[in-house]
Structure 1
Amino acid sequence: MKSKLTAVTLAAIVVAGTAAAALPASAAVKAAPTRCHTADLKAGFALGDDAKPEMGQTDKQTQAYIWFTNKSTRTCTLSGFAGVDMVGAQKTDGTWSLARSSKAPAKLVLEKGDTVDFGITLLPVAASTPKAQKFVPAKFLVTPPNETAHFTLTWPFGGQILKQDAATHPGTFVDPIGQ
């Protein structure tokens, strides 16, 4: 009885080993990509004519866009909101951490070289607006979702924004990555 059980067990091992060896490499389970880290990315403002905010008008909100490109050799994911702190040009401006929109974020997969952007809604004001009521952007400190290291981007568009850094629902805010 013992030798029959051993033979059946041995046959099962041989069959299992043969089946495993017969699987093509493409059938191997691939690990899901992990999140993108700041070091995996590069960032900048979208500068195309259709992407520039209309900072000269003061009748309505306008949008600026910041992009992230996966510069690493691996696939990674981004999901959520970037942290965006505007640093002002006026001594009275200080730093303004932008609020988030109510839009729901999606999980995005970035292959090597893929780019995704997100919008920043801005509420421009006239140059004649009193200094205490306007924020003049100089630099943007942009932190990818779930990261602590940031990119420092110089604001290329000029203009000024209605200062609402303490407002509950400011006219200047950030949308999620990919929106």
Structure 2
Amino acid sequence: MTIHNVVRRAALAASVFTAAVAAVTVQAATSSAGLPACAAGQFDLRIQKPAVDDPNRPDQFDVILANNGPACTVQGFPGVDLTGPDDPTYGPTYSLPRQSVAAQPLTVQPNQAVASILTYQPGNWVPGTLVVTVPDTTTQLHVPWPAGVGVLRQDGATHPGTYIGPLAPL
């Protein structure tokens, strides 16, 4: 085999590999339903107590994202921060860790909502605002934290009792 044939075969293999990578990249950019990823601006954010309050479960809130735009897809966990008065040890922002479970891709139709369960340990620190970042975006949505509801800060804990769950259908 001549050096010319070796170079030609290497070039052909490289072009086949590049085409395969491009095809995978295009498929990853759109969902299986062909819908775009949800943008933060198409959601209205609210927080409420779960419809069924189980006294055997920790304290929880539903963090609800209601779609006021076109159908889209979302997957993962929202970024969630509680902001409030300055804590002398940790500062004014408590970034919640994520629950260690898998998240499923979701299609969110117009006027439908998805929710994430925020589980918290009651405590003395009372945040003023819930700040949510929709998965795969950087835009933050804000709503007031329920008045008088205190949270135990566990910044840096290895097994915190305060955390956010994955988005799920509401």
Letter in 2 for 1:178: A
Contact 1:53 / 1:157 at 8 angstroms: preserved in 2?
no
Aligned residue number for residue 146 of structure 1: 136
Deviations 1:68-93 (A, max 9, x none): 11111x21011000000110235535
Letter in 1 for 2:40: T
TM-score, normalised to structure 1, is 0.68
- Give the percent of matched residue pairs that are identical in Structure 1 and Structure 2: 30
Aligned residue number for residue 64 of structure 2: 67
Aligned residue number for residue 123 of structure 1: 121
Question: Structure 1 residue 31: deviation in Å?
Answer: 6.7
Question: Structure 1 residue 142: deviation in Å?
Answer: 0.5
TM-score, normalised to structure 2, is 0.71
1:77 aligns with 2:79: no
Indicate the structure (1 or 2) with the bigger Cα radius of gyration.
1
What RMSD over aligned residues (CA atoms) do the two structures have, in Å? 2.6
* Unpaired stretches in structure 2, ≥5 consecutive residues: 1-31
CA 1:40/1:104 → structure 2, altered by over 3 Å: closer, same or farther? same
CA 1:135/1:107 → structure 2, altered by over 3 Å: closer, same or farther? same
Contact 1:60 / 1:124 at 8 angstroms: preserved in 2?
no
Letter in 2 for 1:143: T
* Unpaired stretches in structure 1, ≥5 consecutive residues: 1-29, 126-133
Secondary structure at the counterpart of residue 119 of structure 1: strand
- Say how many residue pairs are matched: 136
Contact 2:49 / 2:60 at 8 angstroms: preserved in 1?
no
1:89 aligns with 2:79: no
- Which of 149, 156, 159 is the matching residue for 1:169? 159
